[in-house]
A and B are shown apart, each in its own frame.
Chain A
Amino acid sequence: MKWLLIAVIVAATTVGEVLQAKGMRSHGEIRDFRPGALRRAISALTRNWAVVGGIAGMAISFFAYLRLLAVTELSFAVPATAVTYVLETVLAKYVLKEQVTRLRWAGAGLVVCGVALVSL
């Protein structure tokens, strides 16, 4: 049960966050933070399928995570889901076409090891 939940969380988080990043980038840089402009940006984003799909993925991941916390402890749940950092960095390179330099790979690797150590 717990490995199934982890598979669901990892898949939903990875797909959801990559979709969200794709959708936000296609919307373009948010430069105007006044309330009226933000409201317009939000209404444009609700019609952006990648953003909506991304939020759906993150919602699935959130509820599966709550379920996981009911059957295991935090010190297992956090490091087990930290694998999303690696998967998302790979997808950022190949799907989002970001330039993932060696500096960023090294940084992402250190963060994953660090998260595992802090929460184990």
Chain B
Amino acid sequence: MSTESTRLRIKTWICATVVVLSNLFGNFFLKRGMPGELPGPLAYITVLFRPWVSLGVVLLIVWVLSRMALLSWADLSYVLPVTSVGYVLVALAGRVLLQEQITIQRWTGIILIMAGVALVSRSAPQTQLDPKPRAVAAGAGR
């Protein structure tokens, strides 16, 4: 049983990393490619064909799908805090890429988020068994 919980934990970490990074870079590329204003409804369609915007949209689709996959085995009360590490990465990226100042207040917030993530990630990702019997999928690849 402990190999099963180790397997689930590793899979959860890999999937959570994809969730966080696809959201971070998806939003970043979207912002980079978006023009200041969108005149008329047609502009909402044509903007999708800009290279940075389409790359951002693809990454956000990856984000939604990987998050759904993660929720297929992990608890919502686990996924929510653990994926909030993205807020920390946004603040750090602002400092590294855009030379923004990180105030003491922001550092405090970053430390609180990291502490919360550390606490929650110590608990098992899944506290309630799958409603479907496991034997069915046991032989399938991952």
A interface residues with partner B (beta carbon < 8 Å): 17-18, 20-21, 24-34, 37, 42, 45, 51, 85, 88-89, 92-93, 96-101, 103-104, 106-111, 113-120
Contact = CB atoms under 8 A, between A and B. Distances in A.
Interface residues of B, number: 43
Interface in B86-142: 87-88, 91, 105-106, 108-120, 122-123, 127-128, 130-132, 137, 140-142
Contact of B81 (A20, A101, A107, A119): A107
A98 B75 CA distance: 7
Contacts, number: 145
Contacts of B141: 31-32, 34
Contact of A24 (B71, B109, B115, B132): B71
Contacts of A115: 84, 87, 109, 113
Given A88-B80, A108-B81, A114-B114, 8 more contacts: A24-B69, A99-B127, A104-B77, A107-B116, A107-B120, A115-B113, A116-B109, A118-B91
Contacts of B117: 107, 111
Contact of B112 (A31, A51, A114): A114
A113 B132 contact: no
Interface string B60-73: 00000100110111
Nearest to B68: A24
Contact of A110 (B75, B91, B116): B116
Contact of B109 (A26, A92, A118): A118
Nearest to A18: B76
Say what secondary structure dominates the interface of chain B: helix
A103 B119 contact: yes
Most buried by A among B110, B116, B140, B141: B116
Contacts of B109: 113-119
B52 interface: no
* Max chain B C-beta neighbours (<10 A), residue from A24, A89, A110: A110
A9 to B, nearest CB: 16
A26 B72 CA distance: 8
